[in-house]
């Protein structure tokens, strides 16, 4: 098992290095990071040349990538931009935990992402929890009443939700729960931001502002999950050992929630584990609509200004999360199901 984990980790690291190389090359071609550096004032050509040298943008891409990956403290660089490489570099490189400095915010990337990641995680974890909770209830419910009227209605509704673009459900829920509720004199929900600046960032404020984005995110994933849970439960419920459990007179509840759910949980856990890091992708659109100060918005803001180090930092963080969650899911799966042996 340990050997298996080490092997997977090594494969993961190689994969991540390949991904980072490809993304770095793409990012080097998305635009000129210097174009927006001076704000509204036009940068003079001489300054631009000096900045290019200072930031090391005159180097070939492979060398810049190498600096990004392993740092440049082992070589001479040109920090004052006079064309002479006189001082040794200060960057440590991604492999030593230094993701560089944002050209736009003039702050270390790790600090920028660190400020935002918790906001995104709150949103993700809450919506995943809501999703799983309701998907389990409805998935099991409709599996137990297969082809009944309520199952058919539920299937149709879930299909509609499943086809729903996330921005459409967000806009509709904002319109209903904020605009119309306000018009009708009902207590209405806030639509943008994380807290009311006049009240401050209190837990109740954040919770209150979370309701709509979490609801929109959950509804989308919920539809796919409950269909999946329904399918898995149906498969397990038709197996021989369930019939045996029933025929020896066990109560229905025990058969469903202990015997069946335990085995149906295996594929469900896998899907959840593999999906978790991909929630970060859904957060991009949601955060933009609800003006949530998370990583998705950080990504959009800095991509539009070609701020390579921030964009690369976020992309690599997400890619690493995907790799790590794949390994965790596999290990967890083997632990849950003793029939599985990795070698």
Partner 1 sequence: MTAQTSSLPQLVDDLSTPPLSLSRLVWLRFRRHKMAVFGGILLILLVLYSFGGAFVYTEKYANFNDTSQRLLPPSLEHPFGTDSIGRDILARTIYGGQISLFIGLVAVLIETILGIIVGALAGYYGGWVDAILMRITEALLNIPTIFLLLVMAKFFGGKIPEIEFAGRSFSGSVVVIVVIIGITSWMYLARIVRAEFLSLKEREFILAARATGTSNIEIIFLHILPNTIAPIIVSSTLSVANAILAEAYISFLGLGVQEPTATWGNMLDKSAKYLDSAPWLWFFPGMLILLTTLGINFVGDGLRDALDPRSRTV
Alpha helix positions (H), 145-292: 149-162, 166-174, 181-183, 203-237, 240-247, 252-254, 261-275, 279-289
The Cα angle at residue 260 between residues 254 and 266, in degrees rounded to 5: 135
Examine residue 288 and tell whether it contacts partner 1 (CB under 8 A): yes
Q: Does 15 bind partner 1 (CB under 8 A)?
A: yes
Residue closer to partner 1 by CB (options 101, 170) is 170
**Three-state SS annotation for 84-134:** CCCEECCCCCHHHCCCCECCCCCCEHHHHHHHHHHHHHHHHHHHHHHHHHH
Measured distance between the N- and C-terminal CA atoms of the chain, rounded to whole angstroms: 7
CB of 326 vs partner 1, minimal distance in Å: 9
**Residue 59 binding partner 1, by CB under 8 A:** no
Nearer to partner 1, 79 or 193 (CB): 193
| C-alpha span between 25 and 10 (Å, rounded) | 23
**Which whole-number Å values give the CA distances from 194 to 220, 257, 293, in the listed order?**
21, 38, 7
Closest CB 302 distance from partner 1, rounded Å: 11
284 touches partner 1 (CB under 8 A): yes
- Reading the block at residue 35, the tokens are 């174009």
Name which of 306, 310, 312 is nearest 37 in CA terms: 306
Please, which residue, 58 or 301, has the CB nearer to partner 1?
301
Determine contact, residues 150/142, Cβ cutoff 8 Å: yes
Q: Which stretch binds partner 1 (CB under 8 A): 59-67, 124-132, 171-179, 331-339?
A: 171-179
Q: Per-residue x/- marks for partner 1, 122-161, CB under 8 A? A: ----------------------------------x--xx-
Can you tell me which of 13, 30, 129, 199 binds partner 1, judged by CB under 8 A?
30
Cβ distance to partner 1 smaller for residue 150 or 304:
304
Contact 128, 276 (CB under 8 A): yes
293 binds partner 1, rule: CB under 8 A? no
**Which residues within the stretch 191-210 sit at the binding site for partner 1 (CB under 8 A)?**
191
Question: Whole-number minimum distance, CB 143 to partner 1, in Å?
Answer: 17
5 class by beta-carbon count within 10 Å (0-12 exposed, 13-18 middle, 19+ buried): middle
Q: Output the smallest distance, CB 11 to partner 1, in A.
A: 9
27 part of the interface to partner 1, by CB under 8 A: yes
Residue 84 near partner 1 by CB under 8 A: no
Cα three-residue angle 204-206-210, rounded to 5 degrees: 115
Rg (Cα) of the chain, in Å, rounded?
25
31 binds partner 1 (CB under 8 A): yes
Name which of residues 248 to 277 contact partner 1 (CB under 8 A).
277
Q: Is 289 in the site for partner 1 (CB under 8 A)?
A: yes
The CB-based long-range contact list for 192-195 (8 Å cut-off, 24+ gap) reads 192/290, 192/291, 193/290, 193/291, 193/292, 193/293, 194/119, 194/292, 194/293
Stretch of 77-85, 90-98, 170-178, 332-340 contacting partner 1, by CB under 8 A = 170-178
Does residue 165 interact with partner 1 by CB under 8 A? yes
Site for partner 1, rule CB under 8 A? 15-16, 18-19, 22-23, 26-27, 29-31, 156, 159-160, 162-168, 171-172, 174-175, 178-179, 191, 277-278, 280-282, 284-285, 288-289, 299-300, 303-304, 306, 311, 314-315, 318-319, 322-323
């Amino acid at each position: 098992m340990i050997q298996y984990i080490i092997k997977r980790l090594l494969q993961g690291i190689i994969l991540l290095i390949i991904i980072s190389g490809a993304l770095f090359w793409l990012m080097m071609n998305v635009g000129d990071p210097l174009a927006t550096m001076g704000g509204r004032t036009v940068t003079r050509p001489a300054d631009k040349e000096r900045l290019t040298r200072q930031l090391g943008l005159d180097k070939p891409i492979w060398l810049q990538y190498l600096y990004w990956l392993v740092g440049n403290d082992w070589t001479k660089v040109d920090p004052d931009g006079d064309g002479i490489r006189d001082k040794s570099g200060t960057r440590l490189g991604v492999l030593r935990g230094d993701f560089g400095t944002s050209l736009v915010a003039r702050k270390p990337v790790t600090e920028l992402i660190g400020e935002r990641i918790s906001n995104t995680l709150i949103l993700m974890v809450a919506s995943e929890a809501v999703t799983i909770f309701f998907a389990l209830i409805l998935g099991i419910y409709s599996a137990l009443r297969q082809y009944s009227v309520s199952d058919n209605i539920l299937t149709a509704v879930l299909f509609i939700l499943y086809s729903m673009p996330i921005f459409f459900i967000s806009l509709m829920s904002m319109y209903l729960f904020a605009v119309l509720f306000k018009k009708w004199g009902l207590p209405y929900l806030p639509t943008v931001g994380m807290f009311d600046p006049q009240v401050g960032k209190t837990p109740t404020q954040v919770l209150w502002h979370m309701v709509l984005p979490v609801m929109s995110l959950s509804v989308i994933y919920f539809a796919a999950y409950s269909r999946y849970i329904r399918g898995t439960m149906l498969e397990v419920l038709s197996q021989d050992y369930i019939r045996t459990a029933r025929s020896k007179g066990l109560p229905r509840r025990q058969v469903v929630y202990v015997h069946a759910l335990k085995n149906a949980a295996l594929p469900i856990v896998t899907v959840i584990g593999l999906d978790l890091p991909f929630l970060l992708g859904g957060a991009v659109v949601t955060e933009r609509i609800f003006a949530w100060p998370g990583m998705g918005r950080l990504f959009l803001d800095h991509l539009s200004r070609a701020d390579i180090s921030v964009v690369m930092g976020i992309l690599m963080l997400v890619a690493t999360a995907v790799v790590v969650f794949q390994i965790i899911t596999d290990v967890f799966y083997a632990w849950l199901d003793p029939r599985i042996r990795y070698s």
